Structure 1
Amino acid sequence: MVLEQAPRGTLMQTATHIEHDPSAEATAARQLARRFAGMNYDSLPEQARSAMKRLLLDYLGVALAGSQTESGRIARAYAASDGGHTDSTLIGGAGKVPAGQAAFANAISSHSIELDDIDVFAYFHFSPPVFSAALAAAQECSADGRKLLVALAAGCEMMERVSRAANPSLRDRSYHSTPTCGVFGAAIAAGTLWDLDESRIVSAIGLAGAQACGILEFHGPAMQKRFSPGPGARGGITAARMAQLGFTGQDSVLEGPRGFLTAYTDIHDAARLTDGLDEPFQLDIEFKPYACARPIHNAIDCALRIRERQHPDLAAIRSITVARHPSWAHKHQNKTPASYHAAQMSMHYSVAVALRDGRALLEEFSDANLRDPALQRLMQVTDITTDPGLPRGVSCRMTVTMNDGRNWTEQVDYPKGSIQEPMSDAEIEAKFMRLAEPVIGKSAAARLAETSQQVERCKDVNALMDLTVRAAPVR
């Protein structure tokens, strides 16, 4: 069951409280390590297997397209610059690098076009840190597809458990949940693939906590946001590798008096870390049809409905009012984005381009469009208000008022791609092909789609990743 509001937390402990006594009870890391050490393909619910295969297809398409952006190309160049073992593939490139470097670059690529997956509260993206680390680690040990699926599910579960315990306070303190929580998921994914025993998984969690990082100061023209999941993916690889070699980590790193929750939140609920450990964990993963920040998607859906139903003359629009829940109302407010990076974080631009073009795909977020006088005018007449009565954090109600006094209102609580309004398998595959074909060619894209959707039959993940190498340019 999906909760509609973020869970209430408990007031944080301070350093003046009694020191945590690991001997009194099993720490969260120890309880989680016991669960993940015991996971295997046969114990993985069919729902989780299916969810991971869907997300794998989506991730590969997004990462391939993102690898060809400026931020993706720079990340690949950096990953290849230090040399080392040639274990893991740089998606969209033509070579292999050490696993940590591949995880770093691929995480950045997969976050470079704002089409990566999202959790139900729009706090974080599962795949950039977890899938990037898992695929790189799987290649290094030549894992099969079944083992990969277990690692992906374990990593996503770990990431979501940390987020549930820490958010929304983590976000409200300006930490970026994708890398901050993702480093734990990446460590579990890599550790699962490398067969870490229970005690070493505990250490991997501790060492992941020592590397948790990521801030939300990135809503400008720079590439800063694209960078965020890179350290999380690489940090997870590092944590698992160090633990594998015998480096021990702190078992109370999550809930201890100076641990992750205390350091990164004002309010948290440590019990959420270990709720239902004896039950199957439901992974609720949402997908993005529009190339911008997920909390903007509700407004895009409103705009598309008004466009389709009313066919407004854009030049005759007097005002656009977007009511948002207080949870997100003060974010994504930018009437003058200076780059397409900034436009992808701008509610005003995204609404304007959706009204004009009837879509908000990669092509719509361009520097050329930023100079369009019609879009600039629509951005200026768009205002965001706050309505605490809206039912969900990402809910949106839009009113378009015309010069002649007519007005139309639409409200969207669950955007396209959500659990309640899902993208179909056909839509996910069409998205993948649209993103992958220009990079690796139609034939390879089709083979990659088929292989990823039957990945449990794959004897070696390297065979899957070999299909992500960029096609030679046509001469």
Structure 2
Amino acid sequence: MTSPIWKVHALSSNTTAALAAFVANLRHEDVPQDQYGYARKSVLDWLGCCVAGTREAEVRALGDVMADMGSAPHATLIARGAMASVLDAALLNGAAGNLLDLDDVHPQLIGHPSSVVVPTALAVAEWKGLSGRDVLTAYVAGYEAMVRMGLAMEPELYDRGWHATGALGVFGACAAAGHLLRLDAAQMVAAFGIAAAQAAGLRELFGTSSKCIHHGKAAMAGILACLWAQRGTQSAADVIGGRFGMRTLSEPVRTERVLDGLGTRFHLAQTCYKRHAACGSVHAAIDAALALRERPGFSVDDIERIDVRTHTLSVSLTAHNEQARTGYEAKYSMHYALALAFIEGSAELAVFSDVHVADPRVRALAARIHMSADPDMQYVEAMPSELTMTLRDGSRTVLRVDTPKGRPSNPMDWSDMAAKFRQLAAPTLEPSAIEQVIEDVARLEDVDVRALMQRLSTAEDAAAQAVAA
């Protein structure tokens, strides 16, 4: 019996060729069934994030730009009542899915795989009339490509100021799109090279509404790379391992981690889901704050100060927004995320608004929150946090959380994901459409993607949508 082609390539020195062969030759039955369970959760989670994100002014503005430019009707702009080219749909939907910072993360990638891979797969599948089964296989291909690149390049890439979702997301989008477009291994090598040429994404944008462009552009770039390669365009032979390839962004590039267990070991079980509408680095601290708030006799007015001891990366990500001015900045502020959680009793989407951030009570409590880095804390599934709450009477309570809700060892199950989707979609979609989408994703292998996407359009316009051939 011959070995799968990607295993043969994995024995060579060409990392890009091995990954390309894996993507081109992956079959649905090659993936353990439990991985598809994680994939369905991630699809539903991202859809809820995207529907909610479409209500924001920034997404509407991006959609208006596309409308002004004109676009072929290939794929649905979710919850907008319109269609666009496959490239524009991936861009807009990808941006919308991350804007509110509720989308899933992978801890070793230090990024958001689903907000790149899902909009890519759905746009291409809708355009080409493919099935949910095809989407799930493509999602696995894209997720593995993106996460394996993260394993090869993190944390050094992140430390240099690159956002992995943009810089490495092009590999995830390229893999998902290439698998759906049936590129062969040689075409995938070229597509990865073209995708890598578009790698971008800067951490300086964190805490602003424009950060989400990293996600949308990565999705768009991956599809564009595949379409160009499909037409015969050539590129670098090994953009991952080559001397002037990805290592020009950051070193080292541990190519062996891209290949290790390729095709036999999958990483979807490590996905971390968010129940709080904030940067994942503050979730452990928020869980601790909400638990402290439930103590008998608790009153926010009794708090003298809160001391937070947390992972060094959490300090790096959130300390600069100590004086948050907007809801977006508060998502990346330990001080304001905790103040909102203590006062509002929640860290859900509605809490992170400009109005709440400007509340004098929130600002006063944020000023009494003090943060320090603990170099001994390990980032495995989450960034741990220990809160010490000192009251005005001098009493102190200490509570540490290592794994907030949504992490693999403290998971959100399907019912949790369905509840999150209902909450995020309720202001936009009809109740019947919400329940049908949940049912569709639960049995995604058997679902027509065009029918699913039509349900995700706005109710008043969905019936008028013409499905592009």
Q: State the TM-score bracket (shorter-chain normalisation).
A: over 0.9
Asked if 1 retains the 8 angstrom alpha-carbon contact of 2:115 and 2:215, the reply is yes
Cα separation, partners in 2 of 1:353 and 1:84, compared to 1, 3 Å: closer
1:472 aligns with 2:455: no
1:455 to 444, 448, 455: 444
Answer whether contact 2:147 2:267 (CA < 8 A) is retained: no
Cα deviation code 1:240-280 (max 9, x no counterpart): 111111111212111211111x1121444221111112513
CA contact (8 A) 1:169 1:268 kept: no
Q: Match of 2:163, as an amino acid?
A: H
Matched, 1:224 2:224: no
CA distance in 1, matches of 2:74, 2:297: 54
Structure with greater helix percent:
2
Instruction: Provide the rounded CA distance (Å) in 1 between the counterparts of 2:332 and 2:168.
Output: 21
2:386 to 392, 397, 400: 397
What is residue 250 of structure 2 aligned with on the other side?
265
AA aligned opposite 2:190: S
Q: What is the alpha-carbon distance in structure 1 between the residues aligned to residue 378 and residue 191 of structure 2?
A: 39
The answer for the alignment partner of 1:64 in structure 2 is 51
Deviations 1:11-40 (A, max 9, x none): xxxxxxxxxxx9x94411101111122211
Q: Deviations over 1:187-220 (max 9, x none)?
A: 1100100100111111111111111000011245
Corresponding position of 2:234: 248
**CA shift for structure 1 position 80:** 2.8
Gaps in structure 1 of 5+ consecutive residues: 1-21
1:327 paired to 2:327? no
Q: What letter corresponds to residue 279 of structure 1 in structure 2?
A: T
| Superposition map of 1:319-398 within 5 A | 319-333=305-319, 334-392=321-379, 394-398=383-387
**Pairwise CA distance, 1:368:** 1.0
The TM-score, its normalising length taken from structure 1, stands at 0.91
Answering whether residue 421 of structure 2 is matched by residue 432 of structure 1, we say yes
1:12 — aligned with what?
none
Structure 1 residue matching 2:229: 3-state secondary structure:
helix
Q: 1:11 corresponds to which residue?
A: none
- Return closer, same or farther for 1:165/1:33 CA change in 2, 3 Å cut-off: same
Find the residue that maps to 1:253 and give its secondary structure: coil
The amino acid of 1:309's aligned partner reads R
The answer (yes or no) to whether the contact 2:24–2:179 under 8 Å persists in 1 is yes
Q: Work out the number of aligned pairs and report it.
A: 448
Q: Which amino acid aligns with 2:140?
A: A
Paired amino acid for 2:174? A
Q: 2:409 aligns with which of 416, 420, 425?
A: 420
Paired residue for 2:140?
153
TM-score, structure 2 as length reference: 0.92
Q: Is the Cα contact below 8 Å between 2:281 and 2:317 reproduced in 1?
A: no
- Equivalence for 1:294: 280
Deviation at 1:310? 4.8
Instruction: Report how far residue 56 of structure 1 moved.
Output: 0.8
- What is the Cα deviation at residue 282 of structure 1? 2.9
Write the distance in 1 (CA, Å) between the matches of 2:345 and 2:339: 10
Report the alpha carbon displacement of residue 126 of structure 1 after superposing the two structures with TM: 1.1
Matched residue, 1:274? 259
Report Cα offsets for 1:159-186 as digits up to 9, x if no partner.
Answer: 0001111110111001011111111100
CA distance in 2, matches of 1:139, 1:86: 11
The two structures, once aligned, show a CA RMSD in angstroms of 1.6
Q: Deviations over 1:389-435 (max 9, x none)?
A: 22336111111111111011111111110001111211110000111
Deviation larger for 372-381 or 272-281: 272-281
Question: What residue in structure 1 maps to residue 189 of structure 2?
Answer: 202
1:343 is aligned with what amino acid? A
Structure 1: how far apart are the matches of 2:429 and 2:291? 35
Paired amino acid for 1:305? A
